[in-house]
Structures are given as structure tokens and as C-alpha cells.
Amino acid sequence: MNSFVDLKSMLSASRASCGTVYLVGAGPGDPDLLTLRAARLLAQADAVVYDHLVGADVLELVAPHAQRIYVGKERAKHTLQQEGINTLLVRLAREHACVVRLKGGDPFVFGRGGEELQVLAAEGVPFEVVPGVTAGCGVAAYAGIPLTHRDHAQSCLFVTGHLKDGSCDLDWPAIARRRQTVVIYMGLAGLATICERLIAHGLPPDWPAAVVEQGTLVDQRVVTATLATLAEAVDNAGLESPCLTIVGEVVRLRDQLAWFEPRAGVTATTETRPLPVAALS
């Protein structure tokens, strides 16, 4: 394959001086969702620096000789602070030809990929970016929730629910709108507050919403409810991170479109009204 040959020559060409850092998206979990380019780079890497969202199945693709470095990054439990990761990448690039910085989902979506690249750029380290399937897309697909639909949502917002010091600094009027889907990353801890705010800013209490735990993986669990009942339903089901929240009328389509059969079965607290059949055409 031409591109494979190109990649090999590119890698050997960079061996002489400073290596290249590949900022690679690992996708949301299911290793089948890796890009071909990501899989090839993992097989050729000299060193792989990865965080907690990268699963064991994906790491199996890493070359046996490669150095594997876990840098954590769970909420409030950072194994290595961001500055330490940046320094590590610069050092590894000076020691190796092919360094892969592997991140869950897409490296440019809530992944601090841009920050890491800024440091590499300032240090003159060559880099490339390999996009991945972001959780918003992958998890919604495996939950049977289309993010847009001509009858229900003409736009889709990706926001972070990681609320600084418990305060809510999101643009609530823009988020609490009809005819759009809102995907909330890192929103589990603040879920009750988020739902309250959405209702306070105009969405009806019976507006459909879902939380997906371990999306795309065999342990995937999905709770569907309404803004008024979601936090309690998620609490009762005992969902834990990583969880993605999806808010919008499209959540109701899951009743008809759920296709993925996870090992753990489905926890569905479906309190949303079913859509009229006409709306599903």
C-alpha cells in the first residue's frame, strides 16, 4: 500500500534528528473505531504516552518493543500534571523517532491536545495530528441516538460539564434551546445542577435526556429519563465515569433505533413520551 510505504519512509527520515510526536485519537473505546492511521502508528511507535480513557484492547496494538507510559488524568486524580506531560513529550521526541501521544476520543475535543502541541511547537518538535471518533459521535451512535434529525434537531452542541469550583460558567441561554441536541462531556458530577439550570433557562422538565456510561464498550449502560428525573435515575443506576449526557428530543428515537447489545444489558429508565409514528419517518 502506498500510504504505508510513505509512512515508513517518513518515519525513517525523521530518525536522524528529533523524532515526531503523533497526537493520536484512540476513539471512545471500541478498538474497531480506531482509524487505520492510528493502528499503524501504534504498531510502529517507539514510545506511547496514554491516559486513562485508552482501553486495554487499544493498547494491545502497541508494538511490543515500545515504551508505554501512563499519564493518568482522571478527574481530581492527575497522575502527572499537564506540565509534566508536556516536558515528557519533548524529552521522548529527542530520544525516539516515533512518539505517539494517545488520547481518548479525538485529541482536539476537550483533550488538551492543542495545549500539548503549543509546547511542542515552541520547542521546535515536529508533530502531526491523527483525529479520532469523539465520544459525542461514537457514544451517540452506539446508544442509537442520532445527534441531528430533520424533525428534531438542526444543530448539535458539544459542551463540557466540568464546572469550575462548582460554579456554572456555561452559556445557559444558548444551551437551553429547542431544536438542538446538547452533548455534555464530563458532566456526571454536576448533573443535577446542569439539569436544574436547563429547566431554569426554559427547557421543559419533561425534556428528554440520556446518560451513557462506557459507551461503545461491552459494558455500555444507558439511562434515559427527563431533565426532571435524570439525576436521580442515574444515581439509582449507580453510573460512574466515563459518562456522556445527551439532551434533546432525539433521545426519544433510541426507543426505535437502539441496536448495540452490550454484555451488561441496558438500564433504561424510559420516562419520555414516545414520538408519534409520523415524526419517525
- Out of 20, 86, 180, 216, name the contact with ligand SAH by CB under 6 A: 216
CB 52 within 8 A of CB 135: no
Mark the segment that binds ligand SAH (CB under 6 A) among 35-43, 169-177, 241-249, 256-264: 241-249
CA angle 185, 146, 75 (to 5 degrees): 10
In whole angstroms, the minimum distance from the beta carbon of 160 to ligand SAH comes to 7
Q: Which stretch binds ligand SAH (CB under 6 A): 88-96, 107-115, 228-236, 254-262?
A: 107-115
CB of 153 to ligand SAH, least distance (A): 19
Measured from the CB atom, the residue of 19 and 107 that comes closer to ligand SAH is 107
Cα(26)–Cα(33) distance, integer angstroms: 8
Q: Annotated catalytic sites, by residue?
A: 51, 73
Identity of the residue, 7 or 257, whose beta carbon is nearer to ligand SAH in the bound complex: 257
Q: Is 67 exposed, middle or buried (0-12, 13-18, 19+ CB in 10 A)?
A: middle
Nearest alpha carbon to residue 35 among 129, 110, 108: 129
Residue owning grid cell 461491552: 218
Residue 125, beta-bridge partner list? none
Rule CB under 6 A: say whether 110 interacts with ligand SAH.
yes
Compute the least distance from the CB of residue 2 to ligand SAH, in Å.
29
Q: Residue 111, interface with ligand SAH (CB under 6 A)?
A: yes
Residue 23 lies near ligand SAH (rule: CB under 6 A): no
The two counts, helices (H) then strands (E), for the chain are 10, 10
Give whole-number Cα distances, 126 to 11, 82, 214, in Å: 12, 19, 34
Asked whether position 38 contacts ligand SAH by CB under 6 A, the answer is no
Query: Hunting for cell 434529525 — which residue is that?
Result: 149
Q: 174, 185 in Cβ contact below 8 A? A: no
29 binds ligand SAH (CB under 6 A): yes
> What residues numbered 166-185 form the site for ligand SAH, per CB under 6 A?
185
For the bound state, the minimum distance from the C-beta of residue 142 to ligand SAH, rounded and expressed in Å, comes to 9
Q: Give the interface segment with ligand SAH, choosing from 16-24, 99-107, 195-203, 251-259 (CB under 6 A).
A: 99-107
Report the residue number, 61 or 63, with the smaller CB distance to ligand SAH.
61
Distances (CA, A) of 51 to 34, 71, 87, 272: 16, 5, 16, 36
CA dist., res. 105 & res. 47, Å (int): 20
Q: Which is nearer to ligand SAH, 189 or 280 (CB)?
A: 189
Adjacent-strand bridge partners of 160: 185
Say whether residue 190 binds ligand SAH (CB under 6 A): no
**Contact residues: ligand SAH, CB under 6 A:** 28-29, 53, 103-106, 109-111, 134-135, 139, 185-186, 212, 214-216, 241-244
